Amino acid sequence: MKYVVLLIIAAVLIAGCLDTSGTKPAWAHDVSWQGDIPKSTAVVEKELWTQISPYNMEYDAVNITARNGSNGLSLRVAGVSNSAGYPDIYDFTYSKGTLTRTGYMLEAILPQDREAAIAIAMQDREVASAGVAGIPAVRRILPETSKKYYTPVTLLSVTWQGVSVLVDPQELKIVKVWKGGGTEK
Amino acid sequence: MNKSVCVVLSLLILSIIGGVAQSQTVGMEQRAVPLDQTFDAQNFTKLEISPRYGNLQLQPGESKELTVTIKNKEKKPITVSPHVEVPPYGEYVMEKEWVTVTPASSEIPAGGSQNFVIKAAIPADASVGYYNAMVAFTDETIPTPYPQPFPNYVHTFSLSVNVWTPPKVQIQKPYIQDQLEAGKEYDYKIKLKNTGDKAIAINPKISQQDQMYGPYGAVESAFTDDALEITSPKEIASGASVEVNVHVKVPADAKGSYRGAIDLGIDDPSIARNEWADLVRLELGVWKQPAEPFVKTFVTQEASPVTIEVSSNLFEGIYKYLAAGGAGTKNAKEPSFTVTLTGSENNAIPLNKTKTMIKGGVSLGGTGMFPPWESDSEGIYTEMGTQYVETYTADVPAGNLKLGIMPWNTQQFEYTITLGNK
C-alpha cells in the first residue's frame, strides 16, 4: 500500500513537470483549421498559444486559415469572442519550425474597455479641438509595438478619421497623439 | 614723368589708402556691440547634455527617474555639480526638494561622460497641475544686458511634470451620435459613476465649447440648444451611479446636423484644469425624408427592354465608416429605394426588381491611412463602406418615360438607365 501511495505521488509530480504548453489554453474554446492544413497542427498550435492572447475576455472561436507559399506556411488567425463586435486578426508565417508574426489588427475589445479608451482620448484638449467626429475605431496595440512609442505594455489606439490617440489603459492616460499627414507628438 | 611728380602721386596714393583704412577703422568701432563682445568673450565650458528636456506624468505620491548624460568636450577634466532651480513663475511652482540629482558632484575627465540620475518625487498632498524645474549642471550663466528675475544657466536640463489624478467620476460614454428625423423626439441617458469616497456635485448644461465651425466661421445648426432638455440629480453619492437625461425635440423644419456638447459640471478637482474632460459631445444628423421622389425623364425611340440600377453612395458609406468606426448609430437604418416608371400617358409601367446587390469597399491600409502604431495592421482587410444596389427591369414602349426614385435612409444615390438588352 505504501508503495502504491508513493507511485501515485510520483506520477502526479511527473505529470506536473511535463510540458503542457502544447495544450489549448483555457481562453481558447473552439479551434478550427481550414485551407492547406499542415500535418503538424499540434506543433504549430503550441507555438501559436505563446503568441496570441485575448484582451480581458476569452476567444469563443479561434479560426486558423493556412496557405502554402514560397516562404513557408502563411497563417491567418482570427480570434472571435461573443463579447466583442469585432475579431482579433493575426498574420503569421510558419517555416522550419518557427512561427513569426507578420501583422495584426486586434479589435476584439469589450464595450466597456472601448468606451473607457475613447473617454480618455476625448479628454485631450488637442483631440477635442481637432473636432473629431463620430465613433472611432479602437484597436489593441501589442507591447512589442508599444515599446517603440512608450513602454512595452498593451495600449489601445483610438482612431478617428485623420486623428489617432494612443492610450495607456492601465495608467488611464494618453501616450501619443497622431494627426493625419504624419504629425506625431 | 619727372621725379617731383612721382613723389606727389605717391603721397596722394598713400593718403587715399590711409584715408580708407582710417574710415574702415571708424566704421568697425561704430558697429561694435558690447553685448556680443561680452558674449563672445565668455569661454563657456563645452559640455554635451543629452537629453536636454524631460517630461513626466505622475500622480501625487509617485516618483520616477530619468538619466541625463553629460559629456565633457573640453581637453581638461571638468567638475560638474548639478543643482535644482525652480523658476518662480508658472501655473504651479514646484518645491526644489521634489527633484534630486545623483551623484551630487562629479569630475568628468577630458572627453569622458557621466550619467546623472534625476529623480522626481511628488508629495502625496501635491496639487494637480503642470510644474517646471531646471537642473543646472554648472553655475555658468549667459550674460544679459538687463537684470533677469531668473539666471539664464548655460548647462541645463529642463524638467516638466504633469501631476494628475484619475477622474473620480466615470462617464460611461462621452458622446452621443445619432441620426434623427425632423419632427420626432428622442431620449438619451448619460451614465455617471462616482468612484471617489465623497459625494460629488454635478450641474449639467449645454456647453458653448464645441460649436460647429466652417471656413467662414460658425456654421448654422440644424436646431438651436432650446431643442434639448437636460435633467439630472444635483450630486452623485460616493460609489453610486446616476443618469443624466437628455431629451431632444427635433423641430419639424430641421435640416442638416447639430453639433454641440453638454458640460456635465462635475465638481472634481482632478478634471478642473481640463475644460474638455467633463464634456459629452453631441453629433446629431437630421434626416429629412423627401416628400416627393426624384424624377428623371428619358425618351425611347422604340419599344425595348430597359434595365434600371439605383445605388446608395459608396463614399457616403466610407465616410460613415471612418466617422463611425463601422459601429453605426442608434437610429441609422439601411438605405433602400422606391422606384417607379410611368409612360407618356402617365400610365404605370410594371417594374421587376431582379436583384439587390450589396457592394463593399475594402482597404488593406497604406501609408498615411493608419497611425504609425497601427502599421502592423497593413495587409489585413478592413471593410470601409457598403453600397446598396437595386436592379429593375421592364419592357417599355417608345416615347417619353418618367423614372421616379424615392430614396430612404440615404443622403446620396446614383442611377443608371440601360436601354436594350443588358
Q: How many residue pairs from chains A and B have C-beta atoms closer than 8 A?
A: 113
Domain shared by B181 and B157, yes or no: no
Domain shared by B175 and B258, yes or no: yes
Query: Which of B279, B325, B373 comes nearest A136 by C-beta?
Result: B325
Distance from CA of A6 to the nearest CA of B (A): 52
Which pLDDT score, from 0 to 100, does residue B40 have?
Answer: 54
Which pLDDT score, from 0 to 100, does residue B255 have?
Answer: 82
B7 occurs within a structural domain: no
Which pLDDT score, from 0 to 100, does residue A163 have?
Answer: 85
At residue B316, does pLDDT exceed 70?
no
Confidence band for A2, pLDDT divided at 50, 70 and 90: low
B15 occurs within a structural domain: no
Domain shared by B87 and B63, yes or no: yes
- pTM of the full structure: 0.55
CB contact under 8 A, B376 and A104: yes
CATH code for the domain of B142: 2.60.40.10
B119 occurs within a structural domain: yes
At residue B411, does pLDDT exceed 70?
yes
Q: B76-124 pLDDT, tens per residue?
A: 999 999 999 998 777 788 999 999 999 999 999 999 999 999 999 999 9
Percent of chain A with pLDDT over 90: 53
At residue B57, does pLDDT exceed 80?
yes
Domain shared by B205 and B107, yes or no: no
Residue of A nearest to B260 (CA): A131
Which pLDDT score, from 0 to 100, does residue B15 have?
Answer: 45
Domain shared by B216 and B262, yes or no: yes
At residue A161, does pLDDT exceed 80?
no
Residue of A nearest to B322 (CA): A161
Domain shared by B136 and B176, yes or no: no
At residue B344, does pLDDT exceed 70?
yes
At residue A83, does pLDDT exceed 70?
yes
Among B145, B163, B181, the domain-final residue is B163
Among B248, B265, B287, the domain-final residue is B287
Domain shared by B406 and B375, yes or no: yes
At residue B14, does pLDDT exceed 60?
no
Which pLDDT score, from 0 to 100, does residue B367 have?
Answer: 60
Query: Which of B170, B372, B380 comes nearest A105 by C-beta?
Result: B380
* Angle B367-B372-B375 from CA coordinates, rounded to 5°: 70
CB contact under 8 A, B380 and A89: yes
CB contact under 8 A, B374 and A159: yes
B4 occurs within a structural domain: no
Task: Find the mean pLDDT for residues B146-159.
Answer: 86
Domain that holds residue B409: 294-419
Among B163, B189, B213, the domain-final residue is B163
B376, B378, B381: which to substitute to probe chain A, counting the most A Cβ within 10 Å? B376
Which pLDDT score, from 0 to 100, does residue B325 have?
Answer: 36
Rounded Cα distance, B145 and B230, in Å: 59
Confidence band for B13, pLDDT divided at 50, 70 and 90: low
Q: B162-180 pLDDT, tens per residue?
A: 888 877 888 877 778 787 8
Domain shared by B321 and B220, yes or no: no
CB contact under 8 A, A123 and B166: no
CB contact under 8 A, A115 and B274: no
CB contact under 8 A, B174 and A138: no
Domain shared by B268 and B343, yes or no: no
Which pLDDT score, from 0 to 100, does residue A122 have?
Answer: 77
Percent of chain A with pLDDT over 70: 80
CB contact under 8 A, B373 and A119: no
Q: A95-107 pLDDT, tens per residue?
A: 988 999 999 999 9
Which pLDDT score, from 0 to 100, does residue B229 have?
Answer: 96
pLDDT top residue among B31 and B185: B185
CB contact under 8 A, B283 and A134: yes
Q: A36-73 pLDDT, tens per residue?
A: 999 889 999 999 999 999 999 999 999 999 999 887 89
Query: What ipTM describes this predicted complex?
Result: 0.79
**A183 in reach of chain B (CB within 8 A):** no
Q: How many domains does chain B have?
A: 3
Confidence band for A28, pLDDT divided at 50, 70 and 90: very high
Interface of B with A in 292-321 (CB under 8 A): 319-320
What φ, ψ does residue B13 adopt, rounded to 5°? -60, -45
Which pLDDT score, from 0 to 100, does residue B254 have?
Answer: 87
Average model confidence (pLDDT) for chain B? 80
CB contact under 8 A, A164 and B371: yes
